[in-house]
Amino acid sequence: LVVAVVTKPFRWELKERMNNALKGIAELKRVVDTILVIPNDKIKQALSSSDKPEFEYGFRKTDDVLYQAVKGIAELITKHGFINIDFADVRSVMSHKGLAIMGMGIGSGDNRAVDAAKSAIFNPLLDDVSITGATSALVNITAGKGVSFYEAEEVMEYITNEFDPSANLIFGAISDESIGERIRVIVIATGLKTKERAFQPSIGIQTKPSHELDFETPSFMRKGGSQRPLFELDELASKIMEIREDDTELPSFLKKR
């Protein structure tokens, strides 16, 4: 099982840097079972609005999320409790599943169960993905002092409402008095729908040096030359829509009859 945890550049960084990152993520998806993506842009969402953190602190906050993600996955297997999650469970949820969401929430007080579940699902530093409709998930509840069975049930009811009814949902529960009178919830969900447009390659054409033009062969079949982008996919789609709306410049044999 191979799980990758990566970050993305800030949007204000050069476009080339972001494109390289998106290409790298696309390539990484081909060789790992699951990938968690954390954009640097979301650092500020994890900080209090009243804070004026130093630049280095913001990055340490992101590093902490990466650490918690890796630690949380490991603890699902290494910590034992009332209902154990083993390596086979982790593989069934994360093997060959692509994009994933990993969240950890801690709740205290009267609403600790729901608060922990909400924090685990809506982790602010994860990429633009929605847990709604996920097809597989691991949910591990760590119960502190005085946590009741009904509170654990409340956590599961809240979380399962966000999943596909036919989802493969695996539940685990352990007791750990070191966290006091709190509940900790870890959720790993896969089979997700992304809000952010995936990287799209350019459509290319083959060009031939001017001194070697071969007029006997149609231009789109000629060999040689270097490849250059003709249209980005979004631009091409826009042009197609323009043609559909106004076909006055379209050859007659291509117009609808």
- pTM for this structure? 0.60
Sign of the torsion formed by the C-alpha atoms of 126, 130, 135 and 138: positive
pLDDT number for residue 10: 82
Collapsed DSSP state (helix, strand, coil) of residue 88:
helix
CA gap 4, 76 in Å, rounded: 17
pLDDT number for residue 92: 84
The model's confidence at residue 198, banded by pLDDT at 50, 70 and 90, is very low
Chain-centre distance for alpha carbon 203: 26
The yes-or-no verdict on residue 23 having pLDDT over 90 is: yes
212 and 142 Cβ atoms separated by less than 8 Å: no
Task: Output the six-digit token pair for 168.
Answer: 């493969």
Collapsed DSSP state (helix, strand, coil) of residue 221:
helix
CA gap 11, 79 in Å, rounded: 39
What does the pLDDT look like over 141-182, one tens digit per residue?
888 888 888 998 899 899 888 887 888 888 888 888 888 999
CA gap 227, 201 in Å, rounded: 13
Residue 114 vs residue 123, higher pLDDT: 114
12 and 42 Cβ atoms separated by less than 8 Å: no
What does the pLDDT look like over 215-234, one tens digit per residue?
445 444 544 444 444 444 44
CA gap 136, 94 in Å, rounded: 8
Output the CATH code of domain 3-194: 3.30.1330.20
Max CA separation in the chain (angstroms): 84
134 and 167 Cβ atoms separated by less than 8 Å: yes
CA gap 55, 66 in Å, rounded: 18
pLDDT number for residue 190: 84
pLDDT number for residue 112: 92
What is the pLDDT averaged over residues 26-30? 89
Residue 226 vs residue 112, higher pLDDT: 112
pLDDT number for residue 226: 43
Residue ranges of the chain that CATH labels 3.30.1330.20: 3-194
Chain-centre distance for alpha carbon 165: 21
The model's confidence at residue 252, banded by pLDDT at 50, 70 and 90, is low
What does the pLDDT look like over 233-249, one tens digit per residue?
445 445 444 544 555 55
Paired residues of 169 in beta bridges: 137
73 and 7 Cβ atoms separated by less than 8 Å: no
The model's confidence at residue 24, banded by pLDDT at 50, 70 and 90, is very high
